[in-house]
Amino acid sequence: MRALKQPPGGSGRKGRVRTRDGKAAAVFLAPWLFGLVVITAGPMLMSLYLSFTDYNLLSNANFTGLDNIQHMLNDDRLAKSLTVTLIYVFVSTPIQLAFALGLAVVLDRGLRGLSLYRSIFYLPSLLGSSVAVAVLWKRVFGVDGLVNQFLAVFGIDGPGWISSPSTALSTLILLHVWTFGAPMVIFLAGLRQIPREFYEAASVDGASRWQQFRTITVPMLSPIVFFNLVLGLIGAFQSFTQAFVVSDGRGGPSDSTLFYTLYLYQQGFVNFNMGYASALAWLLLLIIALFTAINFWVSKFWVFYDN
Amino acid sequence: MTTDTSVAPPVAQPPQQPASVHTSRRGVRSRIGSVLRHALLILAAFVMLYPLLWMIASSLRPDNEIFSSYGIFVNTFDTSHYPDGWNALAQPFSGYLLNSAIVVLGAILGNLVSCSMAAYAFARLDFPFKRSAFAVMLLTIMLPVHVVIVPQYILWANLDLINTFVPLILPKWLATDAFFIFLMVQFIRGIPRELDEAARIDGAGHARIFLRIILPLMVPALATTTIFTFIWTWNDFFTQLIFLTDPNLYTVPVALRSFIDAQENSSYGSLFAMSVVSLIPIFLAFLLGQRYLIQGIATTGGK
């Protein structure tokens, strides 16, 4: 019936549909748009502003120009937390991905019980970020914890892994590696997309398993390796819970587990230096953006897209 | 006809050669290889699960044995850690479980409603600045929460909503977990457009198409969202630590953390017992939702 009222000509109908869509879109997107403005974009702008102030929640914010940046340059704990975080990110992520890829390749070879293995390896990824597992880790690597009880069987007197500055960070790296299941599942999905014919052709040509892995699996999987690498780095930079629980919120011993986010939390929500914490947050964003950009640039040289 | 190669599934795969075709020597070799591989995988799985099994065992041991047992078999069962831990803090542990349940339920409902609405708009509607809006939405997935947490805290403090569950639940109703919008957009794109077009010819508006056609068909994506929201919110520590300082409102992770402060070294048994309790819901969600979890993780890596 409505069609009768339409003006003649093709464009009228299309235009009408468009405006109707526009109104509907406004309704469907309303919650998201409101959230974008009030919960995300607004606070981003505000934290950018606060990073040039001395806001401390109690008194009004004073614009202090580049004072916070000046302070950052002379802040030894910031330097320490950056070092700790960079070591954590750039050691644990590649090891984690290596485990994920290795086990995905083993599991992909038409193995019986695949889904059971996959579930077992995936489970720690779900639990790894919980306070409960961080508590467990603290205990496992304590002076008289599980690891040292085990070492004692062989007559080895293990150190207090968590309480010694030289080993505390390694235990957290190990915890992160333990959660390799999530990238492993992504690798498994990617492996399934590689046509089997490639392997058949290669083995007809007499290529060994290792050669097949290097010349077929790695290039075909490189976009997914890249994807896991980008997401893994971004995620690792934001780790918080494990370091917080293991060090009772202090980042000790001797700041050896002072993750960047933990330092930011201390500045913002323990000392209420909210201006400085905002500056730290923006530096974190810039660092993550920088490494992501480098990642994308480098990917041109090793990521292989078949289309 | 160039499209054929990209769209069509691999044509005429040669029938899989049955294993018996192999010469017997290769057969034996591959069987040994497979046994070795299983042995290795079982060992790896065991090592992975060992700390968790040890924690469960330790929660059932007398305290003095926790410090001397590395095994996962319990000689003397001591279940007293569970009631002890349950009542060790300002309120029974059930209170913290309830707080977490409220936050998790609110977050799940919020994500389901708001993200599915936004996803429908991005996947099916035509509107100005759609591409830019979509790009902005994708960028917010990457945004560290730390960049917005200070102003958010100030916002909620000014609204006098610190120490309520509002800062933890309301953002989910505003689709701030953009990851799920993306997941749902990808899913809706897989639903044939003919279905909504047929409904539109029958006179249905977008509300009706969304509610009657798209939503029922995207149940798998909604299930994935539900389970991930459940696990992430249950595990979330950072925002709950910041927004909840009243012990009566503590959620499970924050309560566990204050447990450490209160109990330091006095009873690791009860700490482990409550840790086990806190992990049970995640474990159940994992068992029930495995299929959706795996799918959800796998599709994020897909193209």
Say if CB B204 and CB B212 are below 8 A apart: yes
Which pLDDT score is estimated for B259? 87
Q: How is residue A117 written in tokens?
A: 């293995």
| More confident: B234 or A22 | B234
Share of chain B above pLDDT 70, in %: 88
Do the chains contact at B256 and A42, CB–CB below 8 Å?
Answer: no
Determine the average pLDDT of the residues in B208-222. Answer: 95
pLDDT single digits (tens) B165-208? 999 999 999 999 999 999 999 999 999 999 999 999 999 999 99
Q: What's the pTM value of the predicted model, to 2 decimals?
A: 0.89
Chain A residues with CB under 8 Å of B173 CB are 31, 35
Do the chains contact at B155 and A241, CB–CB below 8 Å?
Answer: no
Determine the average pLDDT of the residues in B227-245. Answer: 96
Q: What is the mean pLDDT of chain B?
A: 88
Inform me whether the pLDDT recorded for B295 exceeds 70: yes
The 3-state DSSP class for residue A130 equals: coil
How large is the ipTM? 0.89
Residue A244 at interface with chain B, using a CB cutoff of 8 Å: yes
pLDDT single digits (tens) B14-68? 444 444 444 566 677 778 888 888 999 999 999 999 999 999 999 999 888 887 7
Q: How is residue A130 written in tokens?
A: 């919980």
Do the chains contact at A238 and B148, CB–CB below 8 Å?
Answer: no
* Distance (Å, whole) CA B112 – CA B146: 24
| Ordered domains of chain B (ranges, CATH) | 33-78 (no CATH), 85-299 (1.10.3720.10)
Do the chains contact at B294 and A185, CB–CB below 8 Å?
Answer: yes
Inform me whether the pLDDT recorded for B299 exceeds 90: no
Torsion of CA A81, A86, A88, A90, to 10 degrees: 180
Q: Which of A283-287, A294-298, B87-91, B249-253 has the lowest mean pLDDT?
A: B87-91
Residue B135 at interface with chain A, using a CB cutoff of 8 Å: no
Say if CB B142 and CB A235 are below 8 A apart: no
List per-block mean pLDDT (blocks of 10 residues) for chain A, which spans 307 residues.
41 49 93 97 97 92 93 96 98 97 88 88 94 93 87 87 92 96 94 90 90 91 94 95 92 93 97 96 97 95 81
Residue A178 at interface with chain B, using a CB cutoff of 8 Å: yes
| More confident: A305 or B211 | B211
Say if CB B43 and CB B35 are below 8 A apart: no
pLDDT tier at B70 (50, 70, 90 boundaries)?
Answer: confident
Do the chains contact at B126 and A136, CB–CB below 8 Å?
Answer: no
CB-count burial class (<10 Å; 0-12, 13-18, 19+) for A12: exposed
Q: How is residue B174 written in tokens?
A: 């505003």
* Distance (Å, whole) CA A127 – CA A133: 7
What are the two backbone dihedrals, phi and then psi, of residue A98, each rounded to the nearest 5 degrees?
-65, -45
What are the two backbone dihedrals, phi and then psi, of residue A159, each rounded to the nearest 5 degrees?
-80, 175
Which pLDDT score is estimated for B243? 97
- Give the amino acid at A298: V
Chain A residues with CB under 8 Å of B115 CB are 32
The CB-based long-range contact list for A78-84 (8 Å cut-off, 24+ gap) reads A78/A263, A78/A280, A80/A255, A80/A258, A81/A251, A81/A255, A81/A258, A81/A259, A81/A260, A81/A262, A81/A263, A82/A260, A84/A169, A84/A251, A84/A255, A84/A256, A84/A257, A84/A258, A84/A259, A84/A260
Which pLDDT score is estimated for A285? 97
- Give the amino acid at A250: R
Question: In 3D, which of A60, A41, A70, A75 has the Cα closest to residue A264?
Answer: A75
Question: In 3D, which of B3, B257, B148 has the Cα closest to residue A241?
Answer: B257
